[in-house]
Structure 1
């Protein structure tokens, strides 16, 4: 039973590694040129926070998967919503940092936050522990959404031309 736990816990980190690769250059070049709110967390906080959140959401998905007996018919909705939010999570970084599409990233992160909320609602009857593990992730996304909004609002000319 260790392999599914390790695999599902590690899965979110795959997109995180790719996101780190996309972000690395832009954090040194493009991102410093943007107007950002004073309350933005420092750059060093992001990898620490995301490593913690990815580990938590991955382990939460394992708890739900285990409670439902694997990828059964009953798991379609809760694990499908989890997969949707994970795909949206992984897509945000290439949109924001890779393509410099601040407004599109804002729309995307709002959809992501909704998908995380829906995932949590679907998980609650299955595992309240897994749902509570996702709460810091939802809180961080609310902060990240506000940050994305402020950057979009304060940098209207920063969008890359088509």
Structure 2
């Protein structure tokens, strides 16, 4: 039981901690977004709230996946690579000012999380639905990136 709680906490806290470190590393670069032409603008407060919820849901999902499929190392690696790809977005857009590359980053994430979701659904695992808010958010992120590409 104690081991399960540790694994769950690890799977939730590591992405949250890493995202906080990325925020600290890029917080001075976020103002770049204000220099861009955009038609779709979300309030800044939305991002940390949504990402915190998504990281918790993702952490719970990978915990259940590892518990139910401990030998499926490929899927577990895909998940952790998706966390890395996700964390790179802030550097790509805010620090390096690469709008098109940031768009591709979001598309790659959408494909990866879509793969995890569909694979989990085919395994008839109900916890697959924990990934659904992330997919919805990535669809919104895709439209935000298209907005940036079109208007800049």
In the alignment, what sits opposite 1:133? 130
Correspondence for 1:98 among 91, 95, 98: 95
Q: C-alpha displacement at 1:49, in angstroms?
A: 0.4
In the alignment, what sits opposite 1:33? 35
Instruction: Output the CA distance in 2 between the equivalents of 1:128 and 1:46.
Output: 27
Correspondence for 1:6 among 9, 28, 39: 9
The RMSD of aligned alpha carbons is 1.5
In the alignment, what sits opposite 1:19? 22
Q: C-alpha displacement at 1:15, in angstroms?
A: 2.9
Instruction: Output the CA distance in 1 between the equivalents of 2:145 and 2:134.
Output: 16
> Aligned ranges for residues 46-61 of structure 1 at < 5 Å?
46-61=47-62
Aligned length: 148
Instruction: Output the CA distance in 1 between the equivalents of 2:25 and 2:102.
Output: 14
Runs of 4+ in 1 over 4 A off after TM superposition: none
Instruction: Output the CA distance in 2 between the equivalents of 1:85 and 1:150.
Output: 23
TM-score (norm 2): 0.89
TM-score (norm 1): 0.84
For the 8 Å contact 1:63–1:127, the answer to whether it is kept is no
